[in-house]
Structure 1
Amino acid sequence: MNQPNEPTLAIDVYRKRRERVLAALRAAGGGVAIVPTAPEVLRNRDADYPYRHDSYFYYLTGFTEPEALLVLDASAASGEPASILFCRAKNVERETWEGFRFGPEGAREAFGLDAAFPVDEIDSQMPLILADKPSLHYALGTSAALDRQVRGWLDGVRARARSGVAAPQAAIDLLPLLDEMRLIKDAHELAIMRRAGEISALAHRRAMAACHPGIREYELEAELLYTFRKYGAQGPAYGSIVAAGANACVLHYPAGNAIARDGDLILIDAACELDGYASDITRTFPASGRFTPAQRELYDIVLAAQQAAIDATRAGATFDDPHNAAVRVLSQGLLDTGIVDRAVYASVDDVIAERAYAPFYMHRTGHWIGMDVHDCGDYRERGAPRDAQGALPARTLQPSMVLTVEPGLYIRPSENVPERYWNIGIRIEDDAVVTEDGCELLTRGVPVKADEIEALMQEAQAAAGKTRDA
């Protein structure tokens, strides 16, 4: 079992996060919060899927072993443990097969917890912890297995009712509190995300350099995966999208065995996960190393849309502002190219009002990113007054929020669309940290301008030619 690279160095980071949760619970009257990690999942027969911890659990502990649960007791009396970990016991035989385990004592010391118990004792210990506590906080309804476990613990408390012991009177969803914490990244998180962005950019550069007509999608995926691991990332943050030609018009197309042909564009949406944090990059480039005129025309429109969205990303703006800025540029481009009929739509405002862009741009311009590639956090201002249509206002951006900026155009064959644009799919995506006066892009270590992409690819192809000739 691999452990994060620096558990000891980060011990104060996780302790302070737990203290923030405890302080919030105390301010709300106390109670107990429980946060389990993810279960192991069987892939087939005797093989599990590669294990990945639960993000909420990791955010509060830094602990990556399976079969673990964190308890935060905001009603603990002075001198009693407030942060308690249940984890696997030391077991020499199992460690021979599966690798090192911290064990309760080792985990308590390494991760700065007040107390730790073997996970086998959880059903006997939890009713004692929950006894006479005013409330129970956890991710309500997200796991049937956890809900059953909680009911069993509460039944254990109620069984002592005749001796004057009371079960918690309220069950409260813990996720809104944790979501708000995770939405604003701290310096520790941003440092990891910067490095993840650097590694992912190196992978995209390698894929561009390796690309040539005749290469298959899975070969380019292999270049990405090699680079992720070579530079220390644990693996991809999500299933890599490597799409040649018309496949780029399929938004979630998995890397297949299609051959990249001369004249095709290659769309790669792929990035690594490093120490629990995702990155997310998309680049689109020509298999031959040169864009055709029609490809370049649409590429420059998407790039201008991305720049407009980046310019709109700053503290005080709303989450919708980058999207609206991108949609305006894309809509104007669709009018200018004739992809949207100028005889039907007189202006860009008409295109936007009628959503005539939607057949060619059907997704949003961004999403939160952090521990999860589609990270937690509200996109609307919870509790704010609703507008006339009943919608909540878009979330106001704050410093250290991190989101993607990813406009695109996807042109499928249609008798209403000029044929030179058929089967062109383009998306350009970067990760942006919101700052007071703009945003910091974490993923620009890979070229984004068409001329720079062509220069990188042609240099790589020239070098490959010299190697073959030698």
Structure 2
Amino acid sequence: MRKFLMIALAASAVAVCTPDAIQAQLPQPKDYLPASFHKGRREALRALMPANSVAVFFSAPVRNFANDVDYRYHPNPDLYYFSGYTEPEAVLLIFKEEQKTGEGKAFNELFFVQEKDSANERWTGKRLGKEGVREKLGIQAVYNGQEFKSFPLDLTRFDQLIYEGVKNLSDDPENGNDVYDLVQVFRKKAGIPASYDETIAANVAMLPNYPQLAGDAGRPKLLNYYQRMAADNPRYANDSLVQAILNVKDSAAVVNIINFISQSKINAALYAELTQQLRQIKTPEEMELLRKAVDISCLAHAEAMKAVKPGMSEMELQGVQEFIHKKLGAEDVAYGSIVGAGENGCILHYETNTATEVGQNMVLMDVGAMYHGYAADVTRTFPANGKFSREQRQIYDLVYDAQEAVFKIAQPGTTFKAIEDTARAVLTRGMLKLGLIQKPEDIRKYYPHGCSHFIGLDVHDKGDYSILKENMVITVEPGIYIPENSPVDRKWWNIAVRIEDDIRITKKQCELLSTLAPRKAAEIEKLIAESSFVDGLQLPRPGDKKGF
């Protein structure tokens, strides 16, 4: 139905108020990253690329929600980072050296984007098109996507194709110029054989980041992982590189495979290395947006604390938090909001949020805002009735102490392993002292995840998990989860605490970014006692009102 209407509208000569005209009249945010930022990122990438190489970035595919409705589009963070482009059906090529067209025109980057289309734009919004990209993003060698096929470009002559592949790629048979078609054109121009599996290549490209897997302790883990993948997926079972991994006999064989991956012409490993190296260090422009994302998240957490009542539902608390996000300008949540009361807090990625009353439990809220593409990740845990019980307070203070211990060592040169070890040591000592575990290795039952990850354009952003460097931004998120039927006194059951904050690594220490939501137990209780804008809000129930 929609497509027929679009065709009819395209043929109509009736004057309409176009999206261009509407958007020209309405104010828009003024703090998006400037074109100069993205140009600088392309220049930084080019400086790291090896000689005679080209880096290739495709847009993320459009994902279908149901029938003829798609999910709100989320761009490929790498493509956005290097271009500022937020639309689908595009490919950006960045060359190490200057290239020349047949007519002698010089270029060092090419961008193929979706074409302007007034009929489609009336339904799905304004497109930049070639001229818009030149004007707003500052990329001059830009063409319509369908021109990629005929563009005279021999990619086989490059020594390195820095390319990761496209996740969840599928063909839309009704669109002959979607990202699937662009990928097929690229593969043909690059001479990539049909047997090359991009998904598997991206998976094994991670191996150079883990040289410890070549050792006697790591090799069994490597083999076990790929044995499981091969057993579950015929594509892995039939892949020659996976077969080579499964047949390794010693450390030297693993090293040879890692070297082969690192030196491959179609180099997903180099793609991962270079994008991680750049994106893990945040620029001042990025920090401005990240700070806003974190501040908005914290203000929303604070409002949820003020609003909470035992009779509220998990979904109501989610609504309070996400309303504040929107009110303060965040376009979206950075991930599915987690609002878990009591036993639901023990589910690490609980996202259904369907409990109709939070009751006398603690509520674990892991909710972060996304502001202009940058993701915050903040978690707070608080008592729905306003006061921590003795047992709740003991677990809460233990998790708080673990976080404080990590803050003290978070500085340039500290390893991620030291962060993990520090948090785990504090939690282990505390749980032993409380009698909740009998031996140190039992801590894994109640603390089953890691302590830190990068944030940025992804909530689990790209980065090298070896040592901390200045201007990295990471989370610190220790937690304790004691589900029902745990081998401890029942009074501890269904206590779940996670405290998650975002920090920036400075020259000598760390800067706590998420300061606008309280962390100390006493401060949380004090804030819960304050009033919220939703107090006393009365809305008609669905079905109560029969109409006007």
What's the TM-score, normalizing by structure 1? 0.85
Summarize the Cα distance change of 1:61–1:464 in structure 2 as closer, same or farther, 3 Å threshold: same
Distance 2:92 2:79 in 1: 7
Q: Which of these residues, 32, 47, 52, is aligned with residue 30 of structure 1?
A: 52
> Cα deviations across residues 149-175 of structure 1 (Å, max 9, x unaligned)?
43222359xxxxxxxxxxxx9322222
1:61 aligns with 2:83: yes
Partner of residue 239, structure 1: 336
Are 1:284 and 2:381 an aligned pair? yes
Aligned pairs (5 A) from 1:68-467 = 68-77=90-99, 80-125=106-151, 127-128=152-153, 130=155, 132-140=157-165, 145=180, 148-155=184-191, 170-173=265-268, 174-341=271-438, 345=439, 351=440, 355-379=441-465, 395-414=466-485, 416-460=487-531, 464=535
Quote how far apart the aligned CAs of 1:96 are: 1.7
**Alignment: residue pair count:** 427
Contact kept in structure 2, 1:211 and 1:287, CA below 8 Å:
yes
| Residue 255 to residue 449, structure 1, CA distance change in 2 (3 Å) | farther
Secondary structure at the counterpart of residue 42 of structure 2:
helix
Distance 1:148 1:87, change over 3 A: closer
Percent pairwise identity: 37
Looking at structure 1, the residues matched to 320 and 168 of structure 2 have their Cα atoms a distance apart, in angstroms, of: 37
Cα distance in 1 between the residues matched to 2:323 and 2:533: 23
- CA distance in 2 between partners of 1:278 and 1:462 (Å): 26
Letter of the structure 1 residue corresponding to residue 160 of structure 2: S
The residue identity in structure 2 corresponding to 1:252 is: H
Question: In structure 1, what is the Cα distance between the partners aligned to 2:352 and 2:320?
Answer: 12
Distance 1:35 1:462 in 2: 45
Contact 1:5 1:275 in 2 (8 A): no
Return the offset for 1:8.
7.8
- Cα 1:464–1:274 change in 2 (3 A) is closer
Which whole-Å deviations, capped at 9, do the CAs of 1:9-64 have from their partners, x for residues lacking one?
61111101111222222xx2122221011111111100001100000000101111
The DSSP-based 3-state class of the residue aligned with 2:458 is: coil
Q: 1:207 to 1:463 in 2, by over 3 A?
A: closer
Look up the match of 2:74: 52
* Aligned 8 A contact 1:179 1:376 in 2: yes
Go from structure 1 to structure 2 and tell me whether the alpha carbon gap of 1:50 and 1:466 turns closer, same or farther (over 3 Å shift): closer
Compute the displacement of 1:460 (Å): 2.1
Gaps spanning 5+ residues in structure 2: where?
Answer: 1-18, 170-179, 193-263, 539-548
Distance 2:143 2:532 in 1: 58
In structure 2, C-alpha distance between the alignment counterparts of 1:256 and 1:413, rounded to whole Å: 19
Provide Cα deviations, 1:216-257, integer angstroms capped at 9, x if missing partner.
111111111111111111110000000011111111111422
Superposed CA offset, 1:298-317 (max 9, x none): 11111111111111211111
Query: Conserved in 1, the CA contact under 8 Å of 2:307 and 2:534?
Result: no
Evaluate the alpha carbon distance shift between residue 297 and residue 38 of structure 1 in structure 2; reply closer, same or farther with a 3 A threshold.
same
Q: Distance in 2 between matches of 1:21 and 1:69?
A: 16
Letter in 2 for 1:43: F
- Which of 1 and 2 has higher RCO (CA within 8 Å, sep 6+)? 1
Q: How far 1:209 moved relative to its partner? A: 1.2
Shift of 1:135: 3.2
Once the 2 structures are TM-superposed, how far is the Cα of residue 461 of structure 1 from its aligned partner? 7.3
Q: In 2 relative to 1, CA 99–147 (structure 1 residues): closer, same or farther, beyond 3 Å? A: closer
The answer as to whether partners of 1:260 and 1:266 remain within 8 angstroms in 2 is no
**Following the alignment from structure 2 to structure 1, what is the Cα–Cα distance between the partners of residues 358 and 77?**
40
8 Å CA contact retained: 1:409, 1:426: yes
User: 1 CA distance for matches of 2:454 and 2:309?
Assistant: 34
Secondary structure of the residue aligned to 1:284 is: strand
Residue deviations 1:278-312 (CA, integer Å, cap 9, x gap)? 00000000001111111111111111111111112
Q: Which residue of 1 aligns with 2:5?
A: none
1:46-88 deviation line (CA, Å, top 9, x unaligned): 0001100000000101111111111112233475111221111
Match of 1:14 in 2: 38
- After TM superposition, what 4+ stretches of structure 1 lie above 6 angstroms from structure 2? 1-4
1:189-229: CA deviation from partner (whole Å, max 9, x where unpaired): 11110010000011111111111011111111111111111
Aligned to 2:437, the other structure's residue is in SS state coil
- Please give the secondary structure, in 2, of the residue aligned with 1:376: coil
Structure-1 separation of matches of 2:373 and 2:537: 41
SS in 1 for 2:442: coil
The match for 1:386 is none
- Partners of 1:69 and 1:45 lie apart in 2 by 27
Report the residue type matching 1:404 in the other structure. Answer: T
